[in-house]
């Protein structure tokens, strides 16, 4: 079973290695300036040489990311439950949630800095805005996916609305909720870095901004590499938590 799981990642690993090899070869053959495109080996060297500074900024970004996605998850779950228990709330709020995603974050983030300041609160709000929508919508759709016949049967047995929600709707919505949470996990790191890039004192975003202003492209790419690793780590962490929390669901999927 483990060998089969590893084999599933084989094509992706081969593709990544091939792309890195082509990248390295192109830089060496074309002799392009490192200020425009550094080689992968130069990026790794920059990561090692600047690791203490990068690590210090990474801790700040991870703090903003974890706090932001935690708050977004709590608010997303509460919003999904409100949308499920009240048709009026769903008709009133759901369109507003969709409309909120049309607001460009590049225009909203500077306003948050003006209104709130350059401390961690403005970065948390940016992360929450990035993560809240996929969590709330995915969970709301999961809650609404329960078969009406099952709900009617439980109501005929005098089950209360909250008991139905707790015993039936929430467990049924968990696969959809975790799907939204995986998407939000990848957004969260990007949101934190974007908030830092617009205005921050510490973090990978401000580190990349300062490196870009100094034309230190190897350091920029090193920070991008760390960002990608963080996003993959959070995505994998959510997947592991999902498997531990929903063994019945993954067991049914594997049997199919």
Q: Which domain holds residue 190?
A: 50-255
| The predicted structure's pLDDT at residue 3 | 56
| The predicted structure's pLDDT at residue 120 | 84
pTM as predicted: 0.85
Spatial separation of the C-alpha atoms in residues 90 and 18, rounded to whole Å: 48
The answer to whether residue 126 is domain-embedded is yes
The answer to whether residue 239 is domain-embedded is yes
The domain spanning residue 230 has which CATH number?
1.10.3720.10
The answer to whether residue 30 is domain-embedded is no
For the chain, give the mean pLDDT.
Answer: 86
Q: Tell me which residues of the chain have a pLDDT lower than 70.
A: 1-8, 249-256
Q: Which of 131, 138, 137, 111 is nearest to 64 (CA)?
A: 131
Query: Where does residue 75 rank: exposed (0-12), middle (13-18), buried (19+ CB within 10 A)?
Result: middle
| The predicted structure's pLDDT at residue 86 | 78
Structurally, the chain folds into a number of domains equal to 1
The answer to whether residue 213 is domain-embedded is yes
Q: What is the pLDDT of residues 28-81, one digit of tens each?
A: 898 888 888 899 999 999 999 999 999 999 999 999 999 999 999 999 999 998
| The predicted structure's pLDDT at residue 254 | 52
Spatial separation of the C-alpha atoms in residues 85 and 204, rounded to whole Å: 41
Q: Which residues contact 239 (CB under 8 A, 6 or more apart)?
A: 182
């Amino acid at each position: 079973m483990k060998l089969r799981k590893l084999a599933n990642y084989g094509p992706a690993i081969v593709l990544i290695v091939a792309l890195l090899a082509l990248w390295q070869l192109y830089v060496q053959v074309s002799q392009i300036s490192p200020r425009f495109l550094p080689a992968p080996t130069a990026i790794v060297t920059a990561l090692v040489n600047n690791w203490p500074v990068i690590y210090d900024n990474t801790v700040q970004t991870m703090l903003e990311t974890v706090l932001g996605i935690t708050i977004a998850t709590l608010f997303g779950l509460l919003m999904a439950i409100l949308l499920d228990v009240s048709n009026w709330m769903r008709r009133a709020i759901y369109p507003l949630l969709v409309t909120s995603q049309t607001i460009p974050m590049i225009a909203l983030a500077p306003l948050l800095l003006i209104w709130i300041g350059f401390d961690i609160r403005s970065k948390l709000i940016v992360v929450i805005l990035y993560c809240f929508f996929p969590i709330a919508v995915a969970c709301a759709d999961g809650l609404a996916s329960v078969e009406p016949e099952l709900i009617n049967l439980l109501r005929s047995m005098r089950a209360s609305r909250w008991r139905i929600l707790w015993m039936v709707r929430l467990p049924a919505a968990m696969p959809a909720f975790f799907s939204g949470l995986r998407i939000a996990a990848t957004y969260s790191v990007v949101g934190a870095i974007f908030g830092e890039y617009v205005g921050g004192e510490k973090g990978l975003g401000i580190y990349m901004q300062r490196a870009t202003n100094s034309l230190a492209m190897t350091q920029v790419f090193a920070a991008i590499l760390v960002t990608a690793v963080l996003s993959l780590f959070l995505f994998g962490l959510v997947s592991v938590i999902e498997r531990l929390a929903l063994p019945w669901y993954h067991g049914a999927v594997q049997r199919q």
